[in-house]
Structure 1
Amino acid sequence: MTMKKITFLGLGVMGYPMAGHLVKAGFDVTVYNRTQRKAVEWQQQYHGNVAQTIEQACEQAQLVMMCVGDDNDVRDVAGRAISVMKPGTVLVDHTTASATVARDLQQLCSESGIGFLDAPVSGGQAGAENGQLTIMVGGQHGHYVQAEPVMAAFARHSQLLGECGSGQLAKMMNQICIAGVVQGLAEALHFGQQAGLDCKQVIEVISKGAAQSWQMENRHETMLAGKYDYGFAVDWMRKDLAIALEEGRKNGSTLALTALVDQYYADVQKMGGGRWDTSSLLARLTS
């Protein structure tokens, strides 16, 4: 099936530009957002279509994409979408949520003859705005084949990793890795400052070796400047880590470092930094 009529549900910092890239790619895009003012703003910028309800947005769509807040939001929004979607269409959830929700929605979609993919993304707001997201996907190959050309409008890479839930499990791994790397970077910068080094010069050197990371390349300058009012919020990172830690308890994983960094993020929240970027782990060491 040639995908032309696409619906996007949720116009947050990620969904807003993702839906915009779909318009730029030539798809007939309809959006829905709980706050209609944001939907109207999006329409003025991208000249797509705005629906007043989830049901109105989804009833004629060939493929529905969504990027909302948490498990409860996913269940509510997806349930309303599935109630009107036609058999043979596909629902793609780009929210970072639990694997349990993904499996439950797959079952619900299957009962209605609808395809489902759990497809959380990585790359942050900048990746969404630049169309350079990485997408981790769980679901059936046939449904992935239908959705992949559409996801390509805002992704530099997507990969099917297994049955439904696999995408969410992979995203948990992604967040576990990020938490450890950011804490290590924060401690290294703090150490360098305490030692009286020019940390920018040090990063210029060590970023060319084995210590290199995306976080080091893209966050060290703002961390050293104490600027955190942007990026992926600590509140959202704690939500993601809670999902990973819960899944770890279920499958017997040992996630000691993840649990520790999660508590460090709780310290940042107590400092009033719930909306700060995740790189704000340095702030708890320098305050």
Structure 2
Amino acid sequence: MNGYRKLPDNYRPYVNVEQAINAYQRNFLDEMDFTIMKVLGDAIAANEDQIRRYLISKISRSDTSKRLDRLRRNGFVDRWHCRLENDTDNEIRPPAPFTLGIAGFKLMNHFYPHTPFMNPNSWDNQNIKTLQRYVAMNELRCLLVESKSINNWHWNSVVAHNRRLKKPLGTAELETTKGNVNFIMERAQMSQNFVGFLRDKLHQWKKVYEQESTFPLTNVPDNVPVFIIYTSTLAMAEHIHKQIMLDTFPFTVWTCVEEFFEADGLAKSFYAPQGESLKRLYLEFLEKN
């Protein structure tokens, strides 16, 4: 995946907090603009469809798109152009991700100083694969929100109060018929050595779990942990299970397969390791309400 910021026509970015606050004081921004930036900042990187879905109860899809275009002109949000590097004819066009721009970042940091927003200076053309990783995770996050089973979400939570331990990409507290659970989620990405990456994390987390008899995470309630390996395809999930043997860990490990989201829904997109194969699950509490 290659990509870069796609700057709009008449681009006039605000570059300091004074300019950003002045735009708010002059009523160039309203409360809905603030909401859009806060939602995008909390998502870190999300495509336009995901942002529309997060906001559907408050604003129409078309109005969300119009506001995103307007917010781009002064650097409150950034839009990214992404293409697969071997797709010379541009036959595959991934949805464009959005991130907070420099003005949006400074404004959100000023009004929400305790929230860790991603600094736009952290993104460059070399980070596009990481950016897409957050977009992929936001698809799962969107579906969890739409199922109305989710209580809260945290990115990159610290494990056992030890910042040297590997962090899960996302953690969600979910309500089920048998009580609340924590989904500890990691995304497998083809552009990395995903088997080695996941093996190292799971074995490190195994030591924590065996020492603590639970899996403590900063700012996350102490619920039963379920570790979710989120993959794009079933073939990828099966390969991971074959290489790592997910059923040998002392905690529950499931896979979540993105290719089934559209046809079968989130509730039927999870698999549990069973011997050498994966068994499909039906998680009724994740049915879209």
TM-score scaled by length of structure 2: 0.31
Higher helix share: 1
TM-score scaled by length of structure 1: 0.31
